[in-house]
Chain A
Amino acid sequence: GQSLEQPSEVTAVEGAIVQINCTYQTSGFYGLSWYQQHDGGAPTFLSYNALDGLEETGRFSSFLSRSDSYGYLLLQELQMKDSASYFCAVSPYNQGGKLIFGQGTELSVKP
């Protein structure tokens, strides 16, 4: 089976850098994805790591280490609009396009 663990809440101030960790137990997967969800809104895709290492997309970066069963999302130059929930998700082998999500981390950005 698969399980993913994330911190439930993180608080940071505007302009700061925050890292949201995701540890997982899975028998095998194609990659680790990150989604953002604002209150009452749809989850939206942020980033995907198929290989170990860092992927950078603007202010957001995502990292994967398969040997450590660990990944993280790094948000730089935080803005108030980054206040949202962030979910890591895995695509298990041999299950087509299925995505299994973690419980999510609620990020609060303070002025």
Chain B
Amino acid sequence: EAGVVQSPRYKIIEKKQPVAFWCNPISGHNTLYWYLQNLGQGPELLIRYENEEAVDDSQLPKDRFSAERLKGVDSTLKIQPAELGDSAVYLCASSFSSRGSGANVLTFGAGSRLTVL
């Protein structure tokens, strides 16, 4: 079974440029997450989807970040315009979770490492 696939693995851009990251979750997983991970830190949730609905986007900086999950499968995370402080690893994860259940195992992709110059 293929894992969570992310692309690109690495991206270097200049500040003020746009960038987009793509994620293909595990087949059958209804929940998709985008996390941000700074060097030496734990992952921080940006947005969580249940199927195609964004159920938690409270940590997403909506002035420059946007995300979509069309048809409840693949997802795209966009930053426009990028700032120096956006340099980080953007992790996508997926899981199969049912409402009210706390036992939830996330499968992560390898991440997209963004460097903003």
Chain A residues 52 to 103 lying within 8 A of chain B, measured CB to CB, are 87, 89, 91, 93, 95-103
Count CB-based A-B contacts (< 8 Å).
Answer: 73
> For residue A94, which residue of chain B has the nearest CB?
B100
Residue of A8, A42, A100, A106 near B108 (CB, 8 A) is: A42
Q: Give the distance in Å from the alpha carbon of A40 to the alpha carbon of B91 in the complex.
A: 11
B25 sits at the interface (CB 8 A): no
Interface residue SS majority, chain B: loop
User: Which residues of the other chain, B, contact A102 by a CB distance below 8 angstroms?
Assistant: 42
Known pairs A43-B108, A91-B103, A101-B43; list 15 more (Cβ under 8 Å).
A8-B40, A30-B101, A31-B103, A43-B91, A45-B106, A50-B102, A87-B42, A93-B102, A95-B56, A96-B97, A97-B101, A97-B104, A101-B44, A104-B40, A106-B40
Interface residues of chain A, those whose CB is within 8 Å of chain B, are 8, 29-31, 33, 35, 40-45, 48, 50, 87, 89, 91, 93, 95-104, 106
A-B contact pairs, 6 of them (CB 8 A): A8-B40, A42-B109, A43-B106, A43-B108, A100-B45, A103-B42
